[in-house]
């Protein structure tokens, strides 16, 4: 089975939270979410009534949670849909198109960690790459670029499921866009994932044509369309 055929990717959040990232999630055997300080993503094992009821309890306690899956999630009882947006899921198919190691090494990127958490959250808040919280950076390795001490670009790892790791948190401050930093950082993260023996994948909103074009240039291929839903208590 190739990653393009991998059924777990149809519900990536669930298969991450019920396997390799169970320890950083809360919930039940039918509905789970990341710990609040890691992020507001949640999922169910299926769309049966019992699963949706357990998801609803998580949404109510959190005040709002986001879902991403191939089949558009029904709205659970006691919840309302605030956002429903088409997205795409892409899997790295041509690693030879990533930015070369030598160019990455020359770019002056640096690993990010706990001491950078505040700067990472500020950058994500300013650029909105997707759900990002105070401890999202603990899910995997993150890399960034600083200019005169200010963090201006970053990328890292989020969801992990057997054999697959998501490239996420990709963002560049508007002041420095157009310098190829996103391509360099995505390539660094993807190469780290490949060295571990996993296959990189990622998500983007279908409306973000620029990001999708960048990922295609780096060797990512569209796997399938997805749907992002943000749920709030009714």
Coil vs helix vs strand at 193:
helix
Q: What is the pLDDT of residues 107-161, one digit of tens each?
A: 899 999 999 999 999 999 999 998 999 999 999 999 999 999 999 999 999 999 9
Q: Identify the pLDDT of residue 80.
A: 97
Q: Specify whether the CB–CB gap between 131 and 41 falls below 8 A.
A: yes
What distance in Å separates the CA atoms of residue 180 and residue 210, rounded to the nearest whole number? 12
Domains and CATH numbers, the chain: 3-87 (3.40.630.30), 89-224 (3.40.630.30)
Q: Specify whether the CB–CB gap between 192 and 92 falls below 8 A.
A: no
Confidence category of residue 6, pLDDT binned at 50, 70, 90: confident
Considering the entire predicted model, what is its pTM? 0.95
Mean pLDDT of the chain: 96
Angle of CA points 38, 40, 44, to nearest 5°? 115
Confidence category of residue 15, pLDDT binned at 50, 70, 90: very high
What distance in Å separates the CA atoms of residue 117 and residue 94, rounded to the nearest whole number? 32
Q: What is the pLDDT of residues 54-101, one digit of tens each?
A: 999 999 999 999 999 998 889 999 999 999 999 999 999 999 999 999
Q: Identify the pLDDT of residue 130.
A: 87
What distance in Å separates the CA atoms of residue 17 and residue 78, rounded to the nearest whole number? 23
End-to-end CA distance of the chain: 41
């Amino acid at each position: 089975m190739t990653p393009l055929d991998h059924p777990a990717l149809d519900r990536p959040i669930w298969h991450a939270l019920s396997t390799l990232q169970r320890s950083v999630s809360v919930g039940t055997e039918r509905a789970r979410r990341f710990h609040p300080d890691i992020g507001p993503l949640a999922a169910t094992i299926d769309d049966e009534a019992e699963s949706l009821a357990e998801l609803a309890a998580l949404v109510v306690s959190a005040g709002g949670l986001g879902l991403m899956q191939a089949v558009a999630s029904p709205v659970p009882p006691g919840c309302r849909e605030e956002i429903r947006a088409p997205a795409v899921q892409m899997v790295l198919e041509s690693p030879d198109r990533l930015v070369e190691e030598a160019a990455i090494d020359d770019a002056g990127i640096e690993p990010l960690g706990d001491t950078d958490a505040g700067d990472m959250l500020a950058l994500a808040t300013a650029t909105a790459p997707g759900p990002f919280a105070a401890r999202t950076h603990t899910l995997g390795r993150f890399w960034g670029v600083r200019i005169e001490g200010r963090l201006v670009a970053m990328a890292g790892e989020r969801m992990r499921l057997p054999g697959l790791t998501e490239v996420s948190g990709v963002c560049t401050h508007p002041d420095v866009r157009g310098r190829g930093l996103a391509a360099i950082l995505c390539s660094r993260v993807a190469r780290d994932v490949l060295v571990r023996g996993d296959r990189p994948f990622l998500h983007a909103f279908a409306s973000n044509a620029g990001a999708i074009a960048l990922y295609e240039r780096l060797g990512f291929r569209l796997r399938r369309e997805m749907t992002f839903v943000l749920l709030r208590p009714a």
